[in-house]
Amino acid sequence: MKKSLQIRIKQGGTIIMGPGKADLLDAIDTCGSISAAAKQMQMSYKRAWDLVDIINKSFNEPLVISAPGGQHGGGAKLTDFGRFILLSYRDLVAKTYSNTELELSNILSNLKISE
């Protein structure tokens, strides 16, 4: 089992940003649709849509905007605000890792090996 530190931001009992949601936002940005992002991440479209809904409802502005499908296709994209929040989250994670590397190493090196 891989050992790691994961940063999750919660509001009440709801995780509003974490590694999975950040990866989903990256996938939407790359793929241009929630459906394609879900497929890339091997999750159901409904699950991806539910996560996007949680994210969008948690912030002052939407992070993802979507257009319904149809003859000319639909799609989804990150808003400028969405890119700002995603970058802020990624920076938070990077700074946390760099500032806690010794302590994390101390903890992880003293864990029992799981079978």
Count structural domains, the chain.
1
Does residue 72 lie in a domain region? yes
Q: What is the pLDDT of residues 23-66, one digit of tens each?
A: 999 999 999 999 999 999 999 999 999 999 999 999 999 999 99
Find all residues with CB under 8 Å of 15, minimum gap 6, and list them: 8, 9, 21
Does residue 61 lie in a domain region? yes
Does residue 2 lie in a domain region? no
At residue 2 the predicted structure's pLDDT band, cuts being 50, 70 and 90, is low
Reported pTM: 0.86
The single residue listed with the structure tokens 């699950």 is 47
Does residue 115 lie in a domain region? no
Does residue 8 lie in a domain region? no
We report the CATH number of the domain holding residue 84 as 1.10.10.10
- Name the residue range of residue 42's domain: 18-109
